[in-house]
A and B are shown apart, each in its own frame.
Chain A
Amino acid sequence: MDPVKLIASDGTEIILDRQAAMVSGTIKSMLGGPGGYVEQEKGEINFPEISGKTLEQTVQYFYYKLRHTNPSSNHTLPEFKIEPESALELLMAANYLDT
């Protein structure tokens, strides 16, 4: 599957696996729905309300989530570090992205 490009408000571009991007319910329907929206055609999505830093952390979380969902039996969950200062912004983004 083709990778996906996410573009933050400050122009930061992050290219990631489609599978990882699909962790977000919002992105999933942007890319997987039946309608031919622009995002689906281009394979890139603009997020004018999410900063590059937040988007980066979000993407990190995508991979974190992907790796640790359905773990094998004796698997210890490593900590996902979040700076308290960025917590609120991340929360907003999570709400927006349905993650």
Chain B
Amino acid sequence: MAAGGKTKFVIPPFRQSQAMDEEYANRTWQTLHSAIHEIHRQNASGLSFEELYRNAYNMVLHKFGDKLYNGLVETITLHLRGVAQEVAVAADGDFLPQLKEKWEKHRLSSIMIRDILMYMDRTYVVAQKKVAVFERGLQIFRDEVCRNDRIKGRLLATVLDLIHRERCSETIERGVIKTVTSMLVELGQDVYQRDFEVPFLEATADFYRKESHECLAQNSASEYMRKAEARLGEEHERVTHYLDKASEGRLNEVVERQLIAEHMRTLAEMEHSGVVPMLEDDRIPDLKRAYELFGRVTSPDGLGVIRELMSGHVKGRGQQLVAEEPGAARDPVEFVKGLLALRDKYQSIIQGAFSGDKTFFNALNSTFEYFINLNQRSPEYISLFVDEQMRKGMRGTSEDEVEAMLDKVVMLFRYLQEKDVFEKYYKQHLAKRLLGGRSISDDVERSMIQKLKQECGYQFTSKLEGMFMDMKVSADTQDKFRAANGSSKVESIDLSVQVLTTGFWPTQVSGGCNLPAPVARCCEVFREHYLKQHSGRRLQWQTSMGNADLKAQFGASRHEINVSTYMMCVLLLFNDNDRLSYADIARDTAIAPAELKRTLQSLACGKFKLLLKEPKGREVDESDAFSFNASFSSKQLRFKVGTVSAQRETEAEKHETRQKVDEDRKPQIEAAIVRIMKSRKEMEHNALIADVTAQLTARFMPHPNVIKKRIESLIEREFLERDKNNWRMYKYLA
């Protein structure tokens, strides 16, 4: 109470109102005692709060707090013993309601008693560090009623039985359980946990252990998971309806362990309904459920189980896809399309069912990386696929679709370990497309190269870009030549030349050929013109890469035929002769035998039979003879004779490409070794190998033995030396 004033402050001496003697204290206590008794009997209407409060106040004020407090505890204890007795003898059906009623009554009386003894709570309890009146009342209830020998076990059993019955889909009165649980919580979290939660969780575990085993034996995985999901939902509802919130986590853990964690493997690997069949049949909702259920389990890693199965399955699928059937050649387009379809399928599954989980994408990627590299021809096939798309596949598709397709191909490319092999093939295929003018769109070609550049950097694509540059420069050169020459025609032959930079383009080993005299003169004219402008350069004719348009008269019909340079050489021979043997042709054209055979095969055995072969047959032999097919006819005025080319490389070519690739790798490995050693000066063998591998993985996977050979070569050439004391240690020699 605020007090203040400027007037003179006089405090009258304190008069002890009346010294309270023992007897008075007893009397006062008696009043209070009987009042408490009345309150316990819910019969407080006749009592005066003020009087009781004043009595308690006076007792505390006159140092009888101990008497009051102890008296109170004793009174409550005695009362509750009686209550416990009543509850204990209640019939089964009446037991919980009885307890509930007693508890509610006790709670109410405790509040009332607390109110009249408020003064003691405020002073005596604080000073003596006792338990406050209301809390003490709860403690006594806990000890005398809840933990009464004849009540405790029965209470627990009754509640657990009710819950069990509800789990077996009986309807129970949830309100009673709610009262019991909130009573226990109010008596203290530890009481709730010790007296109820722990045994409850044990019972839960038992229940679900049994149920899950039965359910597993009778149901498919997806059915089981649906049930498990429903059970988890029920348990969640249970918590919100009549358990304490704090139980939710622990209860979930128990249920998850019993329903999911214990059976993850069994479930996921179930034969006709596990994760693998789900993946196969694209059962997105089932997979989603599995993802959510397994995701709840963190140890052991639930999602890991699914991930592992998915990887394993994709791996199996992929291995089938990339396997080379002996004898039968794989169609590269089908090969890549298969891979893309597989990848699309799993991408959409991960997006749809696994909420785009990054770890799943990583698993998918590493799986693809694994099996794509199982087939040594993957780089070739992917490049061939792009080739196919660039030649014809893109027609009728929008730009976006093309971009999307290229993106997917680049994704496959990313999985390749031997990116340099891909580069090699890509260069070959690109060269053919550019020189043959077969590419549908320059923009698409450029965008593909741009994508590769983003993946592997400038170095990777510099040569590819150089090829494009050459094509552009060639067009200019051609214009200049035409201007200087007056026309692009030399002796009525229209000459078009592409000047290619050595090094950018794949070198063709197959040698040249004897060009027919007029063509050879043409070339000479161009050479003179070109060297006049660029002195010091050397021109080399790559006859294997050219093509020619011929006008030909077959009996009555005239045709314009587009053929390769080799074919032109062969056909022009027949201007002077009607029949030539293989040996004659070989001698006059000087084309390498393998190429010549292919050329002749295209001319005599292909779709357009310009030559007749004797004897007839599909293969060309060195003893064959050829004659001009005068009776040739075709509906088309213009046509093109394609070279019978093994689109796929032959074994020999493949071997050759590999050798070339290996040869190209040597300087790259050496460069990497030198780069590393230059900065480190000294390094141990294994560490060096690891570093070199790390530097080169963007392009290919060097084999340790290959690296070792390079190191030895570098030692020989005195770039490095071995340490004298430790032969596994290398030193850099500046």
A residues with CB within 8 A of B = 25-26, 29-30, 33-41, 45-49, 58, 61, 79-85, 87-88, 90-91, 93-94, 96, 98-99
Contacts and interface: CB of A to CB of B under 8 A. Distances in A.
A70 to B, nearest CB: 16
Interface in B115-153: 115, 118-119, 122
A84 B7 contact: yes
A40 B45 CA distance: 9
Interface of B (DSSP majority class): loop
A62 B7 CA distance: 23
B424 to A, nearest CB: 83
Contacts of A98: 118-119, 122
A50 to B, nearest CB: 10
B306 to A, nearest CB: 56
A25 B118 contact: yes
A82 B49 contact: no
15 contacts: A30-B49, A33-B49, A33-B115, A35-B39, A35-B115, A36-B44, A46-B48, A48-B54, A58-B1, A61-B1, A61-B2, A84-B7, A87-B3, A90-B1, A99-B1
B545 interface: no
A37 B5 CA distance: 39
A29 B48 contact: no
Given A25-B118, A29-B118, A48-B54, A35 B108 contact: yes
B55 to A, nearest CB: 11
B1 A30 contact: no
Interface of B: 1-5, 7-12, 14, 17, 39, 44-51, 53-54, 57, 108-109, 111-112, 115, 118-119, 122
B47 A38 contact: yes
Contacts of B118: 25-26, 29, 98
Given A84-B9, A87-B11, A39 B48 contact: yes
Nearest to A68: B2
A94 B53 CA distance: 14
Given A30-B49, A46-B50, A48-B54, A82 B5 contact: yes
B56 to A, nearest CB: 11
Contacts of A94: 1
Nearest to B17: A49
Given A79-B4, A90-B3, A98-B118, A38 B48 contact: yes
A39 B49 contact: yes
Contact of A34 (B45, B54, B111): B111
A61 B2 CA distance: 8
Given A84-B10, A98-B118, A35 B111 contact: yes
A96 B122 CA distance: 11
A85 B10 contact: yes
A25 B46 CA distance: 22
Contacts of A41: 45
A87 B47 CA distance: 32
A48 B118 CA distance: 19
A48 B17 CA distance: 13
A87 B4 CA distance: 9
A52 B118 CA distance: 24
B48 A82 contact: no
Contacts of B46: 38
Contact of B1 (A25, A48, A81, A91): A91
A17 B57 CA distance: 26
B54 A80 contact: no
Contacts of A96: 54, 57, 119
A93 B54 CA distance: 11
A12 B688 CA distance: 104
A84 B50 contact: no
A84 B12 CA distance: 9
A34 B112 contact: yes
Nearest to A97: B1
Nearest to B3: A82
Contacts of B39: 35
A84 B109 CA distance: 42
A40 B115 CA distance: 13
A39 B118 CA distance: 16
A39 B116 CA distance: 12
A84 B49 contact: no
Given A46-B50, A84-B7, A96-B57, 10 more contacts: A29-B49, A34-B112, A37-B112, A38-B47, A49-B54, A84-B5, A84-B9, A85-B12, A88-B14, A96-B119
Among A25, A26, A99: residue with most chain B CB under 10 A: A26
Contact of B112 (A35, A88, A93): A35
Nearest to A30: B49
A49 B118 CA distance: 18
Contacts of A35: 39, 44, 108-109, 111-112, 115
Nearest to B45: A36
B202 to A, nearest CB: 38
List the 5 shortest-distance A-B pairs measured between CB atoms, nearest first: A35-B112, A94-B1, A37-B49, A84-B9, A29-B115
Given A34-B108, A35-B112, A38-B48, A81 B5 contact: yes
A80 B57 contact: no
Contacts of A37: 44-45, 47-49, 112
